[in-house]
Amino acid sequence: MMPTRVLHVGTVDNPCLRLVETGDSIRGKYIALSHCWGKLKSEQKFVTSADNLDNRKEEIAFDEMPRSFQDAVRTTRALGVAYLWIDSLCIIQEDKADWEAESGKMEEVFSSAYCTIAASSARSSLDGFLGDRIPRACVTVHTSQGPMLYLAEAIDDFQAHVEQSVLNSRGWVLQERALSRRTIHFTSTQVYWECGQGIHCETLAQLRNPQSQFLGDSSFPNLGLQYYKDERIRLVQHLYQVYCALQLTNAADRSKAVLGLQKRLSRTFKSRADYGVIWGYFERTILWQAKTPNGLPRISYGYGRAVPSWSWMASTGEIEYMDIPFGQVDWVGNPTNPAGTIQEGAEWDGQLTAEANQLLIDEDELLGRAVIDCSTFKFDSTVWRCVVVGKSKVENESGDVDHYVLVIRPLGGSSQVYERVGVGKLLGTHISTETTKVYLR
């Protein structure tokens, strides 16, 4: 399928450059650009807006484009492809309706692209990625037979040049790379080609590593289908942990910049996914926690864009998942797994139903056994509760049983609506046997 809008790049001989609405009439190959916007002032950003949309459809002056966009046009023409997709030009900026519609199509945009160009060496759209390279020193070796040989320092370092590049530190880029069928990474030293067959260097070397083999898979994440369920769960957890460590200019994009990836995981593993939780792996993917002592500050999404507190999408910062042994825990069906209760394709506000228990534990002991999401959350034994998600099948050394729980508190003074404030591993003696029905938001 074609994106809603693409750039028609023309050819070297006929360099007509303009924005086109694809509709039902335009078909063909297109290339997608994965790039870093950079810390630019408003006047430095080259974007499409409601005010200049008609002008962009008439013509776009090549010389007015930032260098990375110019280089992307040159590369697209050189590859003999007529169309190019660039987010800042093909999505109408400052138009909420268009942004909501188009940001939800990232899976289709990158998976349908003939190829993705990754501007790995460019810190902003002003830098470009086809600049001059630093000459490599070499030693000439004369032989008695055959041609001369040249020895030069090895420069094949995909980890440093691509994995650790500024581009791949950005939150949006994880799904762009994972969903692309093939990617050309332009770095300051050489070009790398990445696809399901591995990584090929401009130096003619071929590289392999597990992460690149997985993310570079043209049918991502089908390699995960070879794994048993526990390895699939670890795979999903790893992807979300990696994503949460990446940077976003706008914190409120945390729930958007991974939707394409979530959609692909949902379809591949045949399980609905919402708010960063795969329903088929519900209990383990809901038991995430803050990775750093500073906790996870809540994100202000603004009116009409609520994200439930039990989702890591509600907060900003790195996460990890509770280390829960496989095959040794009984999941008690609490909170109620939404699977089967929400119609296919229906919108869902994220509210969960659960049975909550009173905490029989003081603050010091709770903090030793639980990870609280944010340091500003102050413990109140009279109103804080826990939701028991699972229980260990075996007793611990003290003869008690470990309980894996969500720690919750009332939301806005309500007696039935609660929000998550952390997770923990508590003993049975820390939890009252009496339960109360609550709703988690």
Q: What is the structure's pLDDT at 197? A: 84
Distance separating alpha carbons of residues 406 and 387, to the nearest angstrom: 5
Task: State the average pLDDT over residues 16-21.
Answer: 95
Q: What is the structure's pLDDT at 150? A: 84
pTM value?
0.92
Predicted confidence band at 228 (pLDDT cuts at 50, 70, 90)?
A: confident
Model confidence at 11: pLDDT above 90: no
Q: What is the structure's pLDDT at 210? A: 62
> Which H or E run contains 175?
helix 171-179
Predicted confidence band at 346 (pLDDT cuts at 50, 70, 90)?
A: confident
Helix (H, G, I), strand (E, B) or coil at 183: strand
Q: What is the structure's pLDDT at 212? A: 62
With contact defined as beta carbons under 8 Å apart, do 64 and 46 qualify? yes
Alpha helices in 15-155 (DSSP H): 53-58, 67-78, 87-90, 96-103, 106-112
pLDDT tens digit sequence for 377-403: 999 999 999 999 999 999 988 889 999
Q: What residue spans define the domains of the chain?
A: 5-136+153-220, 275-440
* Nearest residue to 406 via CA among 359, 364, 363: 359
Number of Cβ within 10 Å of residue 294's Cβ equals 11
Longest distance between any two alpha carbons in the chain, whole Å: 90
Per the model's pLDDT, the better-predicted residue between 414 and 211 turns out to be: 414
Model confidence at 225: pLDDT above 70: yes
With contact defined as beta carbons under 8 Å apart, do 354 and 334 qualify? yes
Distance separating alpha carbons of residues 131 and 62, to the nearest angstrom: 17
Can you state the percent helix, strand and coil of the chain, rounding each to 5? 30, 25, 45
Q: What is the mean pLDDT of the chain?
A: 92
Bin 223: left if φ > 0, else alpha if -120 < ψ < 50, else beta.
alpha
Distance separating alpha carbons of residues 371 and 120, to the nearest angstrom: 36
